[in-house]
Chains A and B, each alone.
Chain A
Amino acid sequence: MSVLSHPDRLDMLLVGVGGQGTILASQIIGRAALAAGYDVKMSEVHGMAQRGGSVVTHVRLGRTVCSPLVARGDADVILAFEQLEALRWLPYLKPGGTLIASSQIVPPVTVLAGLARCPDDVPSYLYRHARTLEVDALDRARACGNPRAANVVLLGVLARELPLPLEVWLRAVRECVPERFLGVNLAAFEAGYNYRDG
């Protein structure tokens, strides 16, 4: 099944914690979408937030795209690398949109130091407000040889939901990932792509 109800426009957010690899994932999406003939705009976060802060990448595909930012309440899909960030950005999802979320929770240092609290039972909120696909991306990536490839596992899950052909995705992964990490990342992508099959 595809989340693309109107294939001439698709708005996505990739959200996570600085250092989790949102930018690589968005670059792969951009390449793939381009190869499939879409106009693409994306907006990234560089600089200070990349040091473990909250980060978001906007990705927009369509015939012609104007704004590089997705408007609040317009995202067709949110790909969340971490659950507190999924919660933070949930208001950007449009009613009926899809959330693909890693099951990982990374508590901010303020929480670790006992200066702030995490809300209880985050997944229940996510399930209540969105068509949610929860993915144990970290474990899957570890099984593929490197927990840092969790981003590409999630990308694989997303790829299955989008109307782009598999070859286009695989080519984009090959073009964006450095040679020495390619094996792990292709395995991670496949693990994500086949995730729904069990």
Chain B
Amino acid sequence: MMMKELMTGNEAVARGAYEHGVLVGVGYPGTPSTEILENFARYEGVLAQWAPNEKVALEVAIGASMAGARAIVTMKHVGVNVAADPLFSAAYIGVNGGLVLVSADDPGMHSSQNEQDNRQYARFARVPCFEPSDSQEALDMVGLALAVSEEYDIPVMLRLTTRIAHSRSLVKLGERRLPPRRPYEKNIQKWLILPAHARVRRRDLEERLQKLAALSETVPVNFIAWGDRRVGVITSGVAYQYVREVLPRASILKLGMTYPLPAGLIARFAREVERLFVVEELDPYLEDFVRGLGIKVEGKEFFPAIGELSPELVRAGFEKAGVLEPRGLPVLDDLPVPPVRPPVLCPGCPHRGVFYVLGRLKLTVTGDIGCYTLGALPPLSAMDTCVCMGASIGMAYGLELVDPERAAKTVAVIGDSTFYHSGMTGLLHMVYHKSRGTVIILDNGTTAMTGHQDHPGTGRTLSGEEAPVVDLEALVRALGVRRVRVVDPLDVARLTEAVKEEVAAPEVSVIIARRPCTLLKREPRRPVRVEEERCKGCRTCLKAGCPALSVREKKAVVDDVLCSGCGLCVQICPQGALVGGGVVGA
């Protein structure tokens, strides 16, 4: 009997890579892509690595492909922005072993700073794009993408979205088939794109794309399921599942290959149906193409281009279009609206100390991407900006450049993993231009937000091997920073002192706020106790925004299941009413 398993799309992509003989998997963690490589790394006989950023990851994969092995690169949608530089050239040079870039987009921004539809990248960079609609397709499309990559000499994008990446459905498991390694032969006309070669490859790329467009007309992942011909729907990705759910009898043109698109197949489908709709998440990517063929089509006027689709939004769209009768759900209008529940820093999170101090010092804080972005939320409210990975440093310097006085009132705050990803170059820029600014590196020894992945500072690799630990102080010094100091982020007095001194200092300085993420160090801790007779119910301790701490009936209450005994509130309480905490036995 064939083995079947319930897998997330991410697990299925990993399985597909394993079964279809991928040797090398590289990436940088980012929701919703992270678990692909984590799962891939668990298989025998593969080489799986976290890279410091997505650009490096893609470059490693291009090299692996050149050496003749099959390779995948994984990242979230914004990671493709970082990897875009090599991606565009990779389309010109092509591949040796199959090369697949997995882009996990996040419609609705569950865990992202923007939504972008990376099918546009496939078209922009001129690389073929496949879009699965469930885990089985995700697994199978890895194989298809690798085969297409090798046959048409081109890297291929596999585009997932959150609801594909993080939904589970049944998958049939197969065996691993490792293709023979293709030999590498020196060929600078292909692998070295100076202008003279690039002009040749540019034309060649267009020829490859024409062949791929022909493939798109016949490839089985682009298919028509005929039903009632009064309504025809063109769709892709998870939207296909919503359409099947909402309009089980309609005719559907399901597109699994969404670049290049099959103009002939679309035209044929359009001719056969009375009313033609496109249902797709995010941009009117398919819709614009269909309209460009001179075909009358309806879509974004009924199905939103912003945010995620859902079965109810697809239903509502077809109701509005007059295809379905309104269903009319009961309205629960007397229900009170519960307070919003944004994510928070964990109890015991070392970042909390830093944002507590920065808030008290009333500094302008340029922020960055990680758990610590949550320091912007009340009651900590101690961050002014967040743009992209690494932006905290360049932006702090930009503020100072225009308004030099600001250097004494501004800090950049960036996590360790983010610093290695793209903070170092910003700091180099500060040193180069004699900045007086201050950078705080929140060094919790992990990539916490995405679930604690290793990086060059952790001493371990994705495959579990020991690795050299980057010496962060030495690295910062080597960039030219002379004022470098290490502080415990949960030591309020010392940290306050350090920040005051460094923002006042007339040269660039780096404070490394070092303490491991509380979820990493699982030593038994003693929760803090409240000495009730001392507690005045003044609520000062609540400024730390710790979820383990509340004040009820004028007395502080510590939730002893949640409290990690980090001792931050102990230092904040002006009455000395919070006592204890710390590591058991210390």
A110 touches B330 (CB 8 A): no
Nearest CB in chain A to that of B539: its residue: A114
Interface pick from A64-72, A161-169, A180-188? A64-72
Among B108-136, those with CB < 8 Å from A are 110-111, 134
B346 close to A52 (CB less than 8 A): yes
The answer to whether A43 touches B241 (Cβ under 8 A) is: no
In the complex, are the beta carbons of B341 and A108 less than 8 A apart? yes
Tell me which residues across on chain B come within 8 A of A129, comparing CB atoms.
Answer: 332, 335
B329 part of interface (Cβ distance < 8 Å): yes
Q: Are B111 and A48 in contact (CB under 8 A)?
A: yes
Given contacts A31-B6, A67-B311, contact A46 B35 (CB under 8 A): yes
Using an 8 Å CB-CB cutoff, how does the interface string of A22-65 with B read, 1 for contact, 0 for none?
00000000110010000111111111111111100000000001
Contacts of B449 in A (CB 8 A): 47-48, 51
A43 to B6, CA, bound (A): 12
In whole angstroms, how far apart are the Cα atoms of A159 and B510 in the complex? 55
- The answer to whether A46 touches B31 (Cβ under 8 A) is yes
From known contacts A52-B344, A66-B244, infer whether A46 and B32 are also in contact, taking CB-CB under 8 Å: yes
Interface residue tally on B, bucketed by range: 35 or more
B550's nearest neighbour on chain A, judged by CB, is A112
CA distance A85 to B327 in the complex (A): 26
A141–B8 CA distance with the chains assembled, in angstroms: 29
Q: Tell me which residues across on chain A come within 8 A of B336, comparing CB atoms.
A: 87, 119, 125
Binds A, one of B161-169, B191-199, B260-268: B161-169
The smallest C-beta distance from A138 to any residue of chain B, in angstroms, reads 9
A53's partner among B169, B337, B341 (CB-CB below 8 A) is B341
Chain B residue numbers with a CB within 8 Å of A7 are: none
Chain A interface, number of residues (Cβ within 8 angstroms): 56
Chain B residues in 8 Å Cβ range of A112: 542, 545, 547, 549-551
Minimal beta-carbon separation of A47 from chain B (angstroms): 3
A143 at the interface (CB under 8 A from B): no
A91 within 8 A of B: yes
Measured between beta carbons, the chain B residues less than 8 angstroms from A111 are: 339
From 437 to 463 in chain B, residues with beta carbon under 8 angstroms from any chain A beta carbon are: 449-451
Residues of A with C-beta under 8 A to B327: 73
Interface membership of B245, Cβ < 8 A: yes
> Which residues of B are found within 8 Å of A42, using beta-carbon distances?
6, 167-169
Q: A41-B168, A72-B312 are in contact. Are A48 and B110 (CB under 8 A)?
A: yes
- Interchain CB contact under 8 A, A87 and B338: yes
Q: Chain A residues near B110 (CB, 8 Å)?
A: 45, 47-49
Q: How far is the CA of A65 from the CA of B167 in the complex (A)?
A: 12
Contacts known (A67-B241, A69-B311); A43 close to B545, Cβ less than 8 A: no
Q: Which residues of B contact A44 (CB under 8 A)?
A: 8, 166-168
Docked Cα-Cα span, A148 to B335, in Å, equals 29
By beta carbon, the residue of chain A nearest B164 is A68
User: Which residue in A18, A69, A90, A113 is a CB contact (below 8 Å) of B378?
Assistant: A113
Q: Please encode chain B, from 321 to 355, with 1 for each CB lying within 8 Å of some chain A CB and 0 for all others.
A: 00000010110101111111111111000000000
- Alpha-carbon distance between A117 and B450 when the two chains are bound, in angstroms: 31
Q: B339 touching A108 by the CB < 8 A rule? A: yes
Complex Cα gap A18–B374 (Å): 15
Decide: B311 and A71 in contact? CB cutoff 8 A: yes
| In contact, A69 and B170 (Cβ under 8 angstroms) | no
Chain B residue with minimal CB distance to A31? B6
| One of B242, B329, B330, B545 near A67 (C-beta < 8 A) | B242
Whether B170 pairs with A39 at a CB distance below 8 angstroms is: yes
Bound CA–CA A147/B180 (angstroms): 53
Residues of chain A within 8 A (CB-CB) of B242 are 66-67, 69
Q: CB within 8 A of B167: which of A43, A49, A54, A95?
A: A43
Contact of A90 among B111, B134, B332, B346 (CB under 8 A): B332
B31→A47 contact, CB < 8 A? yes
Asked whether any CB of chain A lies closer than 8 Å to the CB of B250, the reply is: no
Q: What is the CB-to-nearest-CB distance from A99 to chain B, in angstroms, rounded to a whole number?
A: 12
Q: Cβ of A171 < 8 Å from any Cβ of B?
A: no
Complex contact A115–B341 (CB within 8 A): no
| Contact of A53 with B6 in the complex, beta carbons under 8 Å | no
Instruction: Determine if A109 is an interface residue (Cβ-Cβ < 8 Å).
Output: yes
Q: How far is the CA of A52 from the CA of B559 in the complex (A)?
A: 15
* Residues of chain A lying within 8 A (CB to CB) of residue B329: 72-73, 91
- The reply to whether A116 and B542 form a contact with Cβ atoms under 8 Å apart is no
Contacting pair A51 B346 (CB below 8 A): yes
Q: Mask for B299-329, Cβ within 8 A of A = 1, else 0? A: 0000000000011100100000000000101
Q: How far is the CA of A112 from the CA of B379 in the complex (A)?
A: 10
Cβ–Cβ < 8 Å partners of A85 in chain B: 338, 341
Find the B residue at minimum CB distance from A52. Answer: B344
A144 contacts chain B at the CB level, 8 A cutoff:
no
In the complex, A31 Cα to B245 Cα: how many Å?
23
The residues of B that contact A110 with a CB separation of less than 8 Å are 339-340, 342, 378-379
Interface residues of A in 78-99 (CB under 8 A from B): 84-85, 87-88, 90-91, 95
B contact residues around A148 at 8 Å (CB): 561
A39 to B134 CA separation, bound complex (whole angstroms): 13
Query: Are the CB atoms of B169 and A113 closer together than 8 Å?
Result: no
In the complex, B428 has a CB within 8 A of chain A: no
A108 to B341 Cα, complex, angstroms:
5
A145 on the B face (CB < 8 A): no
Contact among A30, A74, A108 with B340 in the assembled complex (CB-CB below 8 Å): A108
**Which B residues contact A (CB, under 8 angstroms)?**
4, 6, 8, 31-32, 34-35, 110-111, 134, 163, 166-170, 238, 241-242, 244-245, 310-312, 315, 327, 329-330, 332, 334-346, 371, 374, 378-379, 449-451, 539, 542-543, 545-547, 549-551, 561
A to B CB contacts below 8 Å, 11 in the list: A42-B167, A46-B451, A52-B344, A66-B245, A69-B310, A71-B245, A91-B329, A107-B550, A112-B547, A113-B539, A125-B334
